Amino acid sequence: MLRIKRSLLLFLVVTICNNVLFAQKEGTYTLESPNSEIVVDVNIGEDISWTVTNRSQKIIAPSRIAMTLENGEELGDSPEVRDSEKKEVNTTIDAINYKKDVIENYYNQLTLKFNQDYGLIFRAYNSGVAYRFTTNKNKEITIVSEEANFNFPEDHMIYIPYANDPANDVYQISFENLYQHIPLSEINKDTVAFAPVLVELPSGMKAAITEADLESYPGMFLKAGEKDFSLKGEFTGYPLEEEQGGHNGLQSFVTKRADYIAKTSGTRHFPWRVVIISNEDRELLNNDMVYILASAPRLDDTSWIEPGKVAWDWWNDWNISGVDFPAGINTETYKYYTDFAAENNIENILLDEGWAPRGEILNTIPEIDLDEIISYAEGKNVGVWLWSGYLPLAQNMDKALATYSEMGVKGLKVDFMNRDDQKMVDFYYNLSEKAAEHKLMLDFHGAYKPTGLQRTFPNVVNFEGVRGLENTKWSNTDFPLYDTQIPFIRMLAGPMDYTPGAMKNASKANFRAINSAPMSQGTRVHQLALYVLYEAPFNMLADNPTNYKKEPESTEFIASVPTTFDETIALDGKVGEYAAIARRKGDIWYVGAITNWNARDLEMDLSFLPEGEYEAVIFKDGINADREATDYKREVINVKSGDQLDVHLANGGGWAARIYPAQ
């Protein structure tokens, strides 16, 4: 009898197919998505390989799957299937602090069990496929390597972010590099890339490769495979020796790695290898596979977790003005940030780097009276978050969590991990669990891409792993291009702390990277739209309160946009060109659209609105926004379901709206 654990599921339908087989050495097992468009074939011969097709178009050509243990045992070599089982699952998941409140969880699953006490689980969704290893051994095992191959039938174009210059340690990175748009055949064979990557396929299809439910195991990098037009997984060796270093000594650099990638329990499920498949680009803007594939929540009580926005100090270099005290990292400045937050319904303030002495976490600098700041903020119903470098927190985790929780701190922004080997992945889980015990939320910076940890531990409310707005302080990166790539690629993995909100906006010709007086590339409305477009349960206002006070219309719109939603609809988009999304919270809809440096006209279809009369507060690029990027126009109009609005996006432009029932 199949036993289903009841957790957050509203209903569950499971169909078990009578597919139990006698042990056999060869055979092909076929699994279809619920809509029958995606087909997975698992071939069992001298080894194990899989292929994937979508609408009869081959996506993944035969690709070998294997895992090698320390004793030379190779899971996947001369496999013998002991039994197999198919099932259909059609249920829903109640999401926590997500882009929708209920997620459809509809898939077909194939489980293969082999004679060497291991297995493989394959799933086929209407939006992609995934597989994972399982083992059932009665002792700890050492994983020497895993073979995860993704062979493509042709020389497709790929969006791929290389990890680092191959002359450096490619495995110690911030996971913020830009995408190269190149043929598979031109992938640099001397380095690795990090997931997600996105492959362009015929007929407008796309395939993104990433992973989910990464726990007590190294993250999967990708590199050129042995065959033409292929990618293969690359996994970091376990750290044996480390030394302190990096920015202000906050990082731990691996100086010696083991010849194995993980030591782990012999009875477990391993991370999912995921291929997300779309027929149109816009489908990538609203995909749930990584969240669905993650382990279920491990917290019984999540009522204390309060995602929201935060007035942030670091990007704007504490450059407030019009006050009678010296601006900087001091108590008076953070009271000013608190007043701004309270006046504009911003839920939190953040004390970023500098509030504690360099390399410490249990003390404050003389200019900071943390008790006074927290007490003042509590009196105004504003939460206080603290920034921490990785190493000081790792060395003082228990005491730091207990101390700051008792003081009334709401959460920690943790920075400069810059690795995803097994030891670092264990740190994420250990910190997440212990922080939850102290009712502390977490925002991971210097972080690898999300793999679903935010579902397992909902107190994790955001991740960086993205080249965010902070880079405009020192880089001439083409941000409007990057901004229109990441919602189709990086955001597939989960939320991203991009930190939008610049009030100083520049055209391509006028942009300058200025560290202490930063500006954004693209228009003002481009920045406003990012609050709707990008998933970020913990979302920062990057500019300083003085600038926001000078721009009350923009500030009011930013403050009005929730950070979690009840429903998300992907409206339109094309990778690297433009994107448009609608999200609902209660009966209010929020719409955001952005473009790259090319101006364009869109038709905004409001068919997603229920029947009724609505008012829409609209922000659109001003007539001169191509020259003066701060130029915008705000208007209030009446709309209804089915209306088609003509939308013009200036170079690097945007469009944003809040739509609510008419009174």
Task: List Cβ neighbours of 553 (8 Å cut-off, separation of 6 or more).
Answer: 619, 634
List C-alpha distances in Å: 276 to 206, 208, 209, 279.
8, 5, 6, 10
Annotation marks residue 470 as catalytic: yes
Task: List Cβ neighbours of 403 (8 Å cut-off, separation of 6 or more).
Answer: 362
Annotation marks residue 347 as catalytic: no
Euclidean distance between CA atoms 573 and 577, whole angstroms: 7
Q: Say which of 147, 347, 415, 483 is annotated catalytic.
A: 415
- The tally of CA atoms less than 13 A away on the side-chain side of residue 420 is 26
Write phi, then psi, for 293 (nearest 5 degrees): -80, -15
Residue 396 tokens read as: 């003082």
Residue 196 near residue 209 (C-beta atoms within 8 A): yes
Euclidean distance between CA atoms 371 and 357, whole angstroms: 17
Euclidean distance between CA atoms 616 and 238, whole angstroms: 54
Residue 51 tokens read as: 């292929």
Residue written as token pair 């780097």? 353
Nearest to 383 by CA among 456, 306, 469: 306
Euclidean distance between CA atoms 429 and 269, whole angstroms: 16
Q: How long is the chain?
A: 663
Euclidean distance between CA atoms 410 and 385, whole angstroms: 6
Task: List Cβ neighbours of 424 (8 Å cut-off, separation of 6 or more).
Answer: 239, 417, 448
Q: Say which of 352, 420, 470, 497 is annotated catalytic.
A: 470
CA angle 376/381/387 to nearest 5° reads 70
* Phi and psi based region of residue 257 (left: phi greater than 0; alpha: psi -120 to 50; beta: remaining): beta
Q: Strands of 564-624 (E only): list them.
A: 567-574, 578-585, 588-595, 600-605, 613-621
Residue written as token pair 């579902």? 455
Euclidean distance between CA atoms 117 and 75, whole angstroms: 9
User: Which residue numbers are catalytic?
Assistant: 415, 470
